[in-house]
Amino acid sequence: SSGPVAAATRAMDELLRRAVPQTPAYELREKTPAPAEGQCADFVSFYDGLAEVGQRAELLGRLAQGFGVDHGQVAEQSAGVLQLRQQPREPAVLLQAEDRLRYALVPRYRGLFHHISKLDGGVRFLVQLRADLLEAQALKLVEGPHVREMNGVLKGMLSEWFSSGFLNLERVTWHSPCEVLQKVSESEAVHPVKNWMDMKRRVGPYRRCYFFSHCSTPGEPLIVLHVALTNDISNNIQAIVKEYPPSETEEKNRITAAIFYSISLAQQGLQGVELGTFLIKRVVKELQKEFPHLGVFSSLSPIPGFTKWLLGLLTTQAKEQGRNELFTDSEYKEITEVTGSPVHETLKGFLSSGEWMKSEKLVQALQTPLMRLCAWYLYGEKHRGYALNPVANFHLQNGAVMWRINWLADSSLKGLTSSCGLMVNYRYYLEETAPNSIAYLGSKNIKASEQILSLVAQFQKNSKL
Amino acid sequence: SSGPVAAATRAMDELLRRAVPQTPAYELREKTPAPAEGQCADFVSFYDGLAEVGQRAELLGRLAQGFGVDHGQVAEQSAGVLQLRQQPREPAVLLQAEDRLRYALVPRYRGLFHHISKLDGGVRFLVQLRADLLEAQALKLVEGPHVREMNGVLKGMLSEWFSSGFLNLERVTWHSPCEVLQKVSESEAVHPVKNWMDMKRRVGPYRRCYFFSHCSTPGEPLIVLHVALTNDISNNIQAIVKEYPPSETEEKNRITAAIFYSISLAQQGLQGVELGTFLIKRVVKELQKEFPHLGVFSSLSPIPGFTKWLLGLLTTQAKEQGRNELFTDSEYKEITEVTGSPVHETLKGFLSSGEWMKSEKLVQALQTPLMRLCAWYLYGEKHRGYALNPVANFHLQNGAVMWRINWLADSSLKGLTSSCGLMVNYRYYLEETAPNSIAYLGSKNIKASEQILSLVAQFQKNSKL
Amino acid sequence: SSGPVAAATRAMDELLRRAVPQTPAYELREKTPAPAEGQCADFVSFYDGLAEVGQRAELLGRLAQGFGVDHGQVAEQSAGVLQLRQQPREPAVLLQAEDRLRYALVPRYRGLFHHISKLDGGVRFLVQLRADLLEAQALKLVEGPHVREMNGVLKGMLSEWFSSGFLNLERVTWHSPCEVLQKVSESEAVHPVKNWMDMKRRVGPYRRCYFFSHCSTPGEPLIVLHVALTNDISNNIQAIVKEYPPSETEEKNRITAAIFYSISLAQQGLQGVELGTFLIKRVVKELQKEFPHLGVFSSLSPIPGFTKWLLGLLTTQAKEQGRNELFTDSEYKEITEVTGSPVHETLKGFLSSGEWMKSEKLVQALQTPLMRLCAWYLYGEKHRGYALNPVANFHLQNGAVMWRINWLADSSLKGLTSSCGLMVNYRYYLEETAPNSIAYLGSKNIKASEQILSLVAQFQKNSKL
Amino acid sequence: SSGPVAAATRAMDELLRRAVPQTPAYELREKTPAPAEGQCADFVSFYDGLAEVGQRAELLGRLAQGFGVDHGQVAEQSAGVLQLRQQPREPAVLLQAEDRLRYALVPRYRGLFHHISKLDGGVRFLVQLRADLLEAQALKLVEGPHVREMNGVLKGMLSEWFSSGFLNLERVTWHSPCEVLQKVSESEAVHPVKNWMDMKRRVGPYRRCYFFSHCSTPGEPLIVLHVALTNDISNNIQAIVKEYPPSETEEKNRITAAIFYSISLAQQGLQGVELGTFLIKRVVKELQKEFPHLGVFSSLSPIPGFTKWLLGLLTTQAKEQGRNELFTDSEYKEITEVTGSPVHETLKGFLSSGEWMKSEKLVQALQTPLMRLCAWYLYGEKHRGYALNPVANFHLQNGAVMWRINWLADSSLKGLTSSCGLMVNYRYYLEETAPNSIAYLGSKNIKASEQILSLVAQFQKNSKL
C-alpha cells in the first residue's frame, strides 16, 4: 500500500524494529549489556513527536500486538515442565525448567519499558504513556487482548515503582510553591477550584491538603486529598469550600472530626495503582499525630451517576404512561402539583437541569423519595456483586461504613446535575476498617448505618422496581 | 522430636504459616485486600529477633523450601497452554491461559516480600535479608536450588526498586554530615581509611567522592566511588591517599584526568544489582559538566587474587624440584642469589609476607617476571571465558581497556599481600566503551594496550605453563 | 483634665514611664542588666493595641518629646570638653570626656528601641513603627523637631541592621511559595499586578524578579526589582507586562539587554535606608554571572508627577487668557482644531482624564510638545539643585544616564494620568556609574543623552517659561 | 628615616590616607556617595597581607591614633551647644546643634568599618580584626587610650550586628556537617575534645550541643554550649565526658535536669558582646519545649585560677616560716605526715603538679581545707566589688545561685592544675534569675546555697587571712 498513512505505519514498524530490544537467550540474560541509551531514547522521542492520540494509539497497538510473548517458546517450555512432572528428577532441574518457562512468559515490550524506566524522566514518560493507553482504550481507538495485556504489564510495573515505601506525604500550604498549588488546583476533580482565594482557603486554617509524591520527583502530586477539620461530621460542602479567606486562627482543641471532602488522582496513568487507600491511611496517622484527641474520621463524598441512574428510571416509567413505581401516591400527587403532566418527562427536565431547586415546593416534595432512591442506588445497585457507584466501592473496600445521606448537600450546578445535590458520608471507624474491608471484598457485604438501612427499607416498601 | 532445637524450628514453622500470605486465586487476585499490616510485621520482628546467622539461615531455608511455587498448579496451567496450542482459539483465550500460567509461576514468598516492601523501612529490611542470605550461602549454612531461586527472586525485586531512575548521585564533602562520612569511611574496602585526616583529604581539593542513594533514603550510601583529579594517569596509590591535609586550592585548568581509585558497595544485600556501572557513567557526566575540558578517564585498580594465584604456581613448581617454568634462567639465577635454595619455597615466604620489598636486589630481580606474570593473570586467566579477576571483569564489562600495569603501585601491606604491590589502570575511552562492552560480553574479547599485549607475549615466550 | 481623651493620654504617659528604660549612669553603663523582657514587651503590646493611626502618632509624639536627650547633661559634658581644650591634659582624659559627651547625646528612647530589637519579632516591629511614624508625619498628625530627630535615630538604627552585608538576594519564580508571590504582587507599586497570569508571566521566561530579604527573615521581601531580558532597550511597558503566558522557552543567546522595569519598596518603614541602589548592583552582578554576554542595562521608568506639573502650567496659562508659552503657534493651532476654545481648559480635561488618547489627531499634535516639555521636566526642574522627579533623582544618584524619553510608552490609565503615557529609560553604563554618581551628587550635574539634550534645547527655544 | 621598617610604616600611612574615607561635611552627610568599593577593599587586602601580629598591631595603632575624632570640631560644636544653653532659641535649633555635635564625635575610622561591613565577608573581617586587636593589647604590642576607644567603637558596632534578634540557635548532631563538628571541637576550651568518639558522645543521647550563628553565616558557630541531660545535678565531669559511645537510647521521662557543662566562645573577636547570657536563655527555652517536665537547670563549672590563688597564699605562708593561717592544727598535722617539712613548699609542688591525687592520705587530709578555701575564693574574693573568678561573675550576672562545690569533680590534669580538681554548680532557678541578677549587679550581693555559706563560715572561723 502507499500514501501518507502507509508511510506513517511503515515508520512506526521500522521504529519498533529498531527500538524494542531483543530478548536475550535465557543463558545470556545476565551477560547481555543494556541496549545503547539511544535505542530506547529513540522510542521516547518518536512517541513524544506523535501529536495525535490516534497515532499514539496506533503505535501502542502495534507494540502490544507485535512484541509480546513468543507463544512457541512458551509452549516448548511448558512441554519441558510437563515432561519433568511425569519423569521426576532432582528439584534443581524442575526449578530451572520453571524458570525458563517464566522467562519465556515475559513479553518482549517489557524489556523496552524496563530500559526506558532507567532514562532520565523515563518513569514519568511511562506514566504518561499509560495515561494515553487508557484514554485510547476509553475512546475505542485501540482494543483487544494484547492491548489489555500490555496495560496489565504496565500497571504491574508502575505498582512496583509507586510502592508505598517510595511515596512521600507532602502537605500543601500557602507557603508551598505556586507550581504545586496550581497543579493541585487543576487536578481537583470533585469540587473544582474557582480561584486563588478558594485555593488559599483550602490550605488555610481548619483545612488540610496532602498529596503523595514519588521520592524521585518530590513536589509533584500523584494523588491529592483535601480534609476539613471540624467539630462534627459535615453534611454539606458549602460550609467547607468558600471563596473568601477565614478570619479565624485554628484552635486545636475545637477540632474533633476530620472530613475527607475530596480525593483526586493527579496522574491518570496511575489508575488502578493502589494509592488512594494508602493516602487516607497515612493522612489519618498524620492527623492523629498533630491532633491527639481527634476521634472522628469521615468522608463527605459525591455520588456521581445518581442523577443519570434516576433519569434512566424516569425514562422507563415515562414510556409506560400511567405507571408510577418510584413514588408513593401522595408523593406523586405533590410532585404533579408543581410539574403538571406528563410528570416523568417534566421531572426529567427539572432534574437534569437542576431547575427543581428553584421551586421550594418541589424541593419539599422530592426530599423523601430522592433520599430513599439514593440509598438504594448506593446500597442496592451492584456490579459483579460490588457497589455500582465507584466512590462507594472505593470507601467500602477501604473498610468504611456507609453512614449518612445528606439532603441539599451540594447545591452547585455540578452537584445538582450529577447527584441531585445529595452527598454521602462514608465513616471510618479506625478499629473496624480491616474487618469491614475483608467482609466487603470477601462476602460483598456492605456495612451501613441505621439511616441508610432505614431508607433502603423504605425504598423496598414503596418503590416497585 | 523435642528439645530446644525442635522448639525453635516449630516456632519458625508456625511463624511462617502465620506470616506468609496466602496466594489468592487467580480470579480474586485484584480484589483481595492486603494482609493485615501486623501479619508481615510479625515476620520482620521475628527475623530481627534471630541473633545468629545460623538461625536466620534456617528460617530463610524453610521459607524458600516451603513457600515457593506450587508445582502442581504450574503443571496444570502448562497443560492448559499446550492444549490451546494444539486446538487454537481466539487470542484472548491463549493470552489468558498464559497469564494464569505466569501467575502460577510466582513463588508464594514473593507475596511476603512484596508486602514487607510496603512497610516503613521494609525495603531496607529486605536488603539486609538478602545480605544475610548471601552470607549464609557463602558460609554454606544453607544451600540448594530453592534458596538460589529465592535469592534470584529477591535480586529481581531489588533491581526494580533500585533502578537507576530512583538513584540520586550525592557528593561527599567536608560539609556532609559526619554520619555520612563515617559510613563512607567504614564501607571503603579497597584502600581502608586510616583516620579522619585521611578522610578529609579524600573529600578535599583534587578529590571527589560520590555515592548513589535511593531517593527514599537520601544520605544513605549504597555504593561509593572515589576519584582523584590529576594531570596524568596515576601509576600508584601513594600519591593519592595521604594522611595530611593538602595545602593547595584546586585549580580547574590544571585538571585533565579523572582517576577512579576506589569503588565499594556499601550495602552487601545489593550484590549483583547493576549499580557500579551506572555510578561510573553518572560520575563521568557530572565531572564533564564541572570540568568541560576533562578528557582522560581511567581507573587505578587493585588486582585481588594475584598473589594467591602466584603462590599456587610456586607451590606446584616447588613440588617438582628443579623445575622452573616461571622465570628465565638469568632471572632464576638472580633471584637465587638473594633467596638461596630452595628458591620456590623461600620466594613463597617472601611474597606472602611482603618481605621481598625490603631487599632492593629482589625487587629489581622480580620486576620483569612479576609484570609479565601479572599481565597473563589479568589477560589470560579465564572463568567461563571471561576474565577470572573480578575487578578486570567489571571494568571490561563496562567497556574499559586494560591499559597499564604499574610496578610498586601499592606498597601497603594489603597491596603487597594481595597483588605483590602491583596495580592496573583500566582506561575509559568514552566513545568506545559501548562497542568494547558488546565485544567483551559477546565475543569475550579483551581489549588491551600495547604494554599489556607485549607483557603477555613475553609471558608466552618465557614461561612454560 | 478629665474625659476619655485625658484618660487615654494618662495611660500613655504611665506606659512610657514604665516601659522606657532609664539611662544608666555613665560609669554603670556596662554593668547594668537589661531591663526585664516584659518591660519593653509591654510597650510593644500597648502600641499594637492602638488601632488608630492618630493614637499611635500621639504616643510616638510623646515618646519623642519626653524621652529624648537630657540637654542639661549635654551642656555639662560640653563644658567639660571645652575646659580640657583650654587646659590640656593627657589624651586619655580628653577621650573619656568626649565619650561621656557622646553618651549624653544618646536620646533615652534609643534604649527602648535597642531592647525591643532583641525581642522575637522586635526588628520587624520597629520597621512597622517607623512606617507609622512616616505616615503620621505625612498626614501632619505629628510634627516638630523632636519627632524628626526620633525618625532620624530610627533610620540610623535600621540602616545598621539592614546593612547590605545582612541582605540576601532571592529570586522569585513560579516555584516560590505562593505567600511570596502574593506579597510581591501586592507591593508592586509601579505597574500593578492584574491577576495570577500576569504574575506568572513576570516570573517566567525572559523575566526576572528579585528581592532583598534580611537574613533573619528569609522569604520576606523588603524591596523588589523586576527585570525584562530582551535584545534591545524597551520603549514601552505593554511589550513587557502581559496577561497571558508566554509560549516560548528562554534562549540565552538571544538576550543582550536587561531592562529594570519596576522597583518597589515592600516595607515602607525602610524609606531612606539605602536598599534600591544595592539591589540594582547585586542584580547586575547576578545577571552577568548567568548571562556572560549581557551588555546593556537600562531602566524603563515611570515619570510620576509629570501630568500634575503640566496641568499646573496649563492652569497658569489659562488664567492669563490669550497667553501661550508652552506651544509653538503651529502646535497651538493644531491642538485648537481638536479642542476648540478655551484651549488650556479643555486640554487640562483631556490630559487629566487620559481622554486625549482617543483622538488620533490630538495624539499627533501633542507628541512634539509633550516630549519637549517632559524632557524639561526631568532635566530642568530641580529641588535643592537635584532633579525634582524622585525616580530621576534615584537613578541619577546611582550613576545612570538619562537616556531616552518614549512616546506612548504606557497607555494604561495610570500611565496616562500620571505621565501622559510617557516613560523614560535611565541607562547604566557599568564602567561609568561611579564617576557619574559622584558628579551628580557633587556638582549636581545631570548626564543625559543626545535625545534628551536636543529636546531640552527645543524646549528652551520654543517654550517661554 | 630609611630602612625596611620605615618603608613599611610609610606604606601603612599611605594606605590609611588612601583607604580611610573622608568624613563628609555635616550638610552633605546624606548626599555623599559611598566610597568606591575598591577603596575599602584595599584596606582589607592590605591588612590580610600582614602576616605578623606585630605588623597588624602597628597598623591598628596608627589607625586609632590618626583617624579618630577631630577634637577641634568637637570643641567648636560644644561651644555652639553651650551658647544656645545660655541664649535659648526654639528647640529645632538646639536639637540641630546637638546633632552636629553628635556627628563631630564620630571617629573617622568608624566610616571605614562601616563601609567594610558592607563588603562581602566584611563583618567576618571586622570580627577577626577585633580579635587581633584584643590579642595585640594582651601582648602589649599596642596600647593607649586611642586604641581602647577604637576597641570600644568596634565592640559597639559588633553588638548592633550580633544583636540577639539576628542570632540563630543551631543544634549540633552527628548529622551536622563535619566542618561544624570540627569547629565545635576546636573551640571547646573548657574540657578539650580528645577524639571523634568523644565528640560523637557529646552530641549523642542524653547530651545536647547548641550554638549561635549569625543569620548571615548559618552553620558558623559564634559561641557553643554543651548540655548533659540527667536525673540529678552532676557533681563531676567524668560522668559526662567519655570516650566511648553510649549503648542506650534516650528516654524522655528519665530526664529531669539539664547541666550546662561547657560554654566557649568560638570567635574571639566577639569578646564582651553579650552572647553567653542569651545563649543560655535560648537553650533553656528550647529544652523546656522538648522536655516539658524538665525542672532543674544548673551549670557544672570549672574554677580557673583557684590553684594559682592558693599557690599564692602558700607562697606567702612559706615566706614566714612557722606561720599557718590556712589550715587548722589537726589538718596541718595530718598534711605534714605526708609531706614532711617544709609543708608549704612541698604542698605547692604537690598541688601545682596534681601529684597529691596519688596519695590517698593527702587527698583525705586536703578535702576539708580545700573545700573551705575554694568557697572563700569564689564567694569572698572580689574585683571592683564583683566576684573575682570570671566564671562565677558570669553566672552570677545571669542570676544563678552559687550552689555546690564538688570534690574530685575533674580529675584531668587540666582540672587538677587549674582548680585542684574542684568544680562548682551554679544553679538557675528560672523564676529568680531576674531579681538575682539585679541584686548582684546593683548591690553586688552574691546569692549562695547553705553548703557554700557554711563553708565560707568555716573559712572565716579557721583561716586567719
On whether residue C95 sits in a domain, the answer given is no
Shortest CA gap B173–chain D (Å):
9
Task: Say yes or no: B210 and B261 in one domain.
Answer: yes
* Distances, alpha carbon D374 to alpha carbons A429, D237, D303, D317, D424, in Å: 67, 18, 9, 17, 10
- Is B352 considered catalytic here? no
Q: How far is CA A154 from the centre of its chain?
A: 17
Q: What is the CATH number of the domain that holds A227?
A: 3.40.630.150
Which residues does chain D have within 8 Å of residue C118's beta carbon, measured at their own beta carbons? 163-165, 278
Per-residue pLDDT of chain D (465 residues; tens, 9 = 90+): 567 778 888 999 999 999 999 998 998 888 777 787 788 899 999 999 998 999 999 999 999 999 999 999 999 999 999 999 888 889 999 999 999 999 999 999 999 999 999 888 999 999 999 999 999 999 999 999 999 999 999 999 999 999 888 999 999 999 999 999 999 999 998 898 888 888 999 999 999 999 999 999 999 999 999 999 999 999 999 989 887 767 778 988 889 999 999 999 999 999 999 899 999 999 999 999 999 889 999 999 999 999 999 999 988 887 876 667 788 888 989 998 888 878 888 899 999 998 999 989 999 999 999 999 999 999 999 998 999 999 999 999 999 999 999 999 999 999 999 999 999 999 999 999 989 998 998 889 999 999 999 999 999 988 766
Which residues does chain C have within 8 Å of residue A245's beta carbon, measured at their own beta carbons? none
User: Can you tell me the distance from the alpha carbon of C151 to that of B136, in angstroms, rounded to the nearest whole number?
Assistant: 79
User: Can you tell me the distance from the alpha carbon of D360 to that of B23, in angstroms, rounded to the nearest whole number?
Assistant: 74
Convert the pLDDT of each residue in B364-400 to its tens digit: 999 999 999 999 999 999 998 999 999 999 999 999 9
Q: Are D327 and D362 in contact (CB under 8 A)?
A: no
**Contact criterion met (CB < 8 Å) for A181 and C181:** no
User: Can you tell me the distance from the alpha carbon of A366 to that of A414, in angstroms, rounded to the nearest whole number?
Assistant: 19
Alpha carbon distance, N-terminus to C-terminus of chain D: 57
3-state helix, strand, coil in chain D (%, to 5): 55, 10, 30
Q: Are D314 and D348 in contact (CB under 8 A)?
A: yes
User: Can you tell me the distance from the alpha carbon of A345 to that of A321, in angstroms, rounded to the nearest whole number?
Assistant: 10
Q: Are A371 and A407 in contact (CB under 8 A)?
A: yes
Nearest Cα to D314, choosing from D304, D303, D327, D329? Answer: D327
Preceding peptide of B218 cis, ω within 30°: no
Q: Mean pLDDT over residues A113-139, rounded?
A: 94
Task: Say yes or no: B144 and B55 in one domain.
Answer: yes
Which of C301, C344, C418, C419 does the annotation list as catalytic?
Answer: C301
Q: What is the per-residue pLDDT for B321?
A: 66
Q: Are A161 and A123 in contact (CB under 8 A)?
A: yes
On whether residue D197 sits in a domain, the answer given is yes
Mutate to test the interface with C, among A170, A173, A178, A193 (most CBs of C within 10 A): A178
Q: Report the chain C residue with the minimal C-alpha distance to residue D75.
A: C82
Q: Which chains touch A (3 or more CB pairs under 8 A)?
A: B, C
Which residues does chain B have within 8 Å of residue A71's beta carbon, measured at their own beta carbons? 85, 94, 98
For chain B, give the longest Cα–Cα distance: 84
Output the DSSP codes for C370-389.
HHHHHHHHHHH-EETTEESS
Q: Tell which of C299, C331, C359 closes a domain.
A: C299
On whether residue C124 sits in a domain, the answer given is yes
CB of A200 less than 8 A from some CB of C: yes
| Region for residue D149 given its phi and psi (left: phi exceeds 0; alpha: psi -120 to 50; beta: otherwise) | alpha
**Contact criterion met (CB < 8 Å) for D175 and B178:** yes
Task: Say yes or no: B153 and B250 in one domain.
Answer: no
On whether residue A79 sits in a domain, the answer given is no
Mutate to test the interface with C, among D28, D30, D98, D220 (most CBs of C within 10 A): D98
CB of B178 less than 8 A from some CB of D: yes
**Contact criterion met (CB < 8 Å) for C178 and A174:** yes
Alpha carbon distance, N-terminus to C-terminus of chain B: 57
Q: Which chains touch C (3 or more CB pairs under 8 A)?
A: A, D
Q: Are C78 and C101 in contact (CB under 8 A)?
A: yes
Which residues does chain D have within 8 Å of residue B182's beta carbon, measured at their own beta carbons? 174
User: Residues 419 to 438 of C: which have CB under 8 A from any D CB?
Assistant: 434, 437-438
Which of B146, B214, B226, B395 does the annotation list as catalytic?
Answer: B395
Nearest Cα to D103, choosing from D32, D159, D25? Answer: D25
Nearest Cα to C421, choosing from C376, C465, C374, C459? Answer: C374
Shortest CA gap B236–chain D (Å):
29
User: Can you tell me the distance from the alpha carbon of B234 to that of D279, in angstroms, rounded to the nearest whole number?
Assistant: 50
User: Can you tell me the distance from the alpha carbon of B140 to that of B147, in angstroms, rounded to the nearest whole number?
Assistant: 11
Q: Are A314 and A454 in contact (CB under 8 A)?
A: no
Q: Tell which of D252, D280, D299 closes a domain.
A: D299
User: Can you tell me the distance from the alpha carbon of B83 to that of D30, in angstroms, rounded to the nearest whole number?
Assistant: 98
Which of A115, A146, A344, A395 does the annotation list as catalytic?
Answer: A395
CB of B41 less than 8 A from some CB of A: no
Grid cell 600508584 — which residue?
Answer: B236
Choose among D177, D182, D200: nearest Cβ to B177. Answer: D177
Task: Say yes or no: C381 and C280 in one domain.
Answer: no
SS3 C342: coil
* Distances, alpha carbon C426 to alpha carbons B103, B413, C288, C391, C394, in Å: 74, 72, 19, 10, 10
Task: Say yes or no: D346 and D239 in one domain.
Answer: no
| H/E run at residue C174 | none
Please name every residue paired with A449 in a beta bridge, in sequence order, or none if there are none: none
User: Residues 211 to 250 of A: which have CB under 8 A from any B CB?
Assistant: 214-216
On whether residue A188 sits in a domain, the answer given is yes
- Residue B429 DSSP symbol: -
On whether residue A213 sits in a domain, the answer given is yes
Instruction: For residue C251, count CB atoms less than 10 angstroms from its CB and return exposed for 0-12, middle for 13-18, buried for 19 or more.
Output: exposed
Query: Quick one: cell of D355?
Result: 601529684
Beta carbons within 10 angstroms of residue D213's beta carbon: 19
Q: What is the per-residue pLDDT for D62?
A: 96
CB pairs below 8 Å between C and D: how many?
Answer: 128
Q: What is the per-residue pLDDT for C181?
A: 95
Shortest CA gap A58–chain C (Å):
29
On whether residue A87 sits in a domain, the answer given is no
Cα atoms found within 13 Å of the Cα of residue D328, Cβ hemisphere only: 14
Shortest CA gap A5–chain C (Å):
30
Q: Which chains touch D (3 or more CB pairs under 8 A)?
A: B, C
Q: Report the chain B residue with the minimal C-alpha distance to residue A68.
A: B95
**Contact criterion met (CB < 8 Å) for D79 and C74:** no
Task: Say yes or no: D8 and D144 in one domain.
Answer: yes
Q: What is the per-residue pLDDT for B2?
A: 62
Mutate to test the interface with D, among B172, B178, B199 (most CBs of D within 10 A): B178
CB of C175 less than 8 A from some CB of A: yes
- Is B353 considered catalytic here? no
Task: Say yes or no: D287 and D427 in one domain.
Answer: no
C vs D contact (3+ beta-carbon pairs below 8 A): yes
CB of A174 less than 8 A from some CB of B: no
User: Residues 90 to 109 of B: which have CB under 8 A from any A CB?
Assistant: 91-92, 94-96, 98-99, 101-102, 105
Grid cell 568544680 — which residue?
Answer: D423
Grid cell 491532633 — which residue?
Answer: A291
Show Cβ contacts of residue C121 under 8 Å, excluding neighbours closer than 6 positions: none
CB of D114 less than 8 A from some CB of B: no
The residues of D annotated as belonging to the active site are 301, 395
Domain that holds residue C247: 165-299
Task: Say yes or no: D417 and D291 in one domain.
Answer: no
Angle at the Cα of A170 (from A169 to A175), degrees rounded to 5?
Answer: 170
Nearest Cα to A94, choosing from B22, B98, B81, B144? Answer: B144
User: Can you tell me the distance from the alpha carbon of B8 to that of B52, in angstroms, rounded to the nearest whole number?
Assistant: 13
Predicted interface score ipTM higher than 0.85: yes
**Contact criterion met (CB < 8 Å) for A177 and C179:** no
**Contact criterion met (CB < 8 Å) for D196 and B196:** yes
Q: How far is CA A390 from the centre of its chain?
A: 8
Buried b (16+ CB within 10 A) or exposed e, B107-118: bbbbbbbbbbbb
Beta carbons within 10 angstroms of residue D154's beta carbon: 22
Q: Report the chain B residue with the minimal C-alpha distance to residue A150.
A: B95
User: Can you tell me the distance from the alpha carbon of B39 to that of B15, in angstroms, rounded to the nearest whole number?
Assistant: 10
Task: Say yes or no: C184 and C324 in one domain.
Answer: no
Task: Say yes or no: A310 and A457 in one domain.
Answer: yes
**Contact criterion met (CB < 8 Å) for A177 and C174:** yes
Please name every residue paired with D188 in a beta bridge, in sequence order, or none if there are none: none
On whether residue C50 sits in a domain, the answer given is yes
* Distances, alpha carbon B401 to alpha carbons A70, B430, B437, B448, B465, in Å: 37, 11, 10, 5, 26
Which residues does chain A have within 8 Å of residue B97's beta carbon, measured at their own beta carbons? none
CB of B181 less than 8 A from some CB of D: yes
Q: What is the per-residue pLDDT for B61?
A: 96
Query: Quick one: cell of B341?
Result: 635454595
| Region for residue D91 given its phi and psi (left: phi exceeds 0; alpha: psi -120 to 50; beta: otherwise) | alpha
* Distances, alpha carbon C22 to alpha carbons A134, C16, C107, C149, D277, in Å: 77, 11, 11, 19, 21
Edge-to-edge strand order for the sheet containing D223-230? D167-171, D207-214, D223-230, D257-265, D296-299, D423-428, D401-406
Query: Quick one: cell of C189?
Result: 507599586
Domain count across chain B: 3
**Contact criterion met (CB < 8 Å) for A174 and C179:** yes
**Contact criterion met (CB < 8 Å) for C105 and D98:** yes
Per-residue pLDDT of chain C (465 residues; tens, 9 = 90+): 567 778 888 999 999 999 999 898 998 888 777 787 788 899 999 999 998 999 999 999 999 999 999 999 999 999 999 999 888 888 999 999 999 999 999 999 999 999 999 888 999 999 999 999 999 999 999 999 999 999 999 999 999 999 888 999 999 999 999 999 999 999 998 898 888 888 999 999 999 999 999 999 999 999 999 999 999 999 999 989 887 766 778 988 889 999 999 999 999 999 999 899 999 999 999 999 999 889 999 999 999 999 999 999 988 887 876 667 788 888 989 998 888 878 888 899 999 998 899 889 999 999 999 999 999 999 999 998 999 999 999 999 999 999 999 999 999 999 999 999 999 999 999 999 989 998 998 889 999 999 999 999 999 988 766
Task: Say yes or no: B16 and B154 in one domain.
Answer: yes
Mutate to test the interface with B, among A163, A222, A445 (most CBs of B within 10 A): A163
Task: Say yes or no: C317 and C381 in one domain.
Answer: yes
Shortest CA gap A26–chain C (Å):
47
Q: Tell which of D270, D299, D328 closes a domain.
A: D299
SS3 D340: coil
**Contact criterion met (CB < 8 Å) for A175 and C175:** no
| Region for residue B84 given its phi and psi (left: phi exceeds 0; alpha: psi -120 to 50; beta: otherwise) | alpha
Query: Quick one: cell of B319?
Result: 613440588
CB of B176 less than 8 A from some CB of D: yes
Tell me the one-letter amino acid at A188: E
Q: What is the CATH number of the domain that holds B23?
A: 1.20.140.90
